[in-house]
Amino acid sequence: MLSEERIILMTRMASYEKGEGRENVKIGNYFRSDYIALQILKAVVCAIIAFGIMFGLYMLCNFEDFMENLYKMDLLAFAKDVLTYFVAIVGGYAVLTYSVCTWRYAMAKKSLKCYYHNLKKLSSLYNETQ
């Protein structure tokens, strides 16, 4: 016998599994600290690569000025400035990634909790009819 409540619940759960549930299950398979550490590690590597590319482009565009002032400028101060920018950009990106991933993990766990509750509810509906 078909139950309208079961059909509605199964449809809602199937829609969740096809959409946002797929990503939430991937996130939910990790412990919180493991998920956040992995995402921060990926973000730091990408930030280092992006900084390297941007610094390279900056140097390429201003190479003539750099070569003219090479003997006049304080290279240690220049390196300190570049390192300061590097730490600020990579550190800021890591902090931003931490906050976003913490929020994303919390929302995924909350959504999965609701999904698992619906699974239990569906199982009890099947047990009632038998």
The pLDDT value recorded for residue 1 is 55
* Separation between Cα atoms, residue 26 and residue 108, nearest integer Å: 9
Consecutive 10-residue runs of the chain (130 residues): their mean pLDDT?
80 87 91 96 97 96 92 93 97 97 96 91 81
The pLDDT value recorded for residue 43 is 97
Q: Which amino acid is at 42?
A: K
- Global pTM exceeds 0.85: no
The pLDDT value recorded for residue 17 is 86
* Separation between Cα atoms, residue 43 and residue 30, nearest integer Å: 17
The pLDDT value recorded for residue 45 is 98
Residue corresponding to tokens 């619906």: 118
Q: Where are the domains of the chain?
A: 4-129
Per-residue tokens: 94: 């890591």
The pLDDT value recorded for residue 125 is 81
DSSP H helical segments within the chain, as ranges?
A: 4-18, 20-28, 32-61, 63-68, 75-129
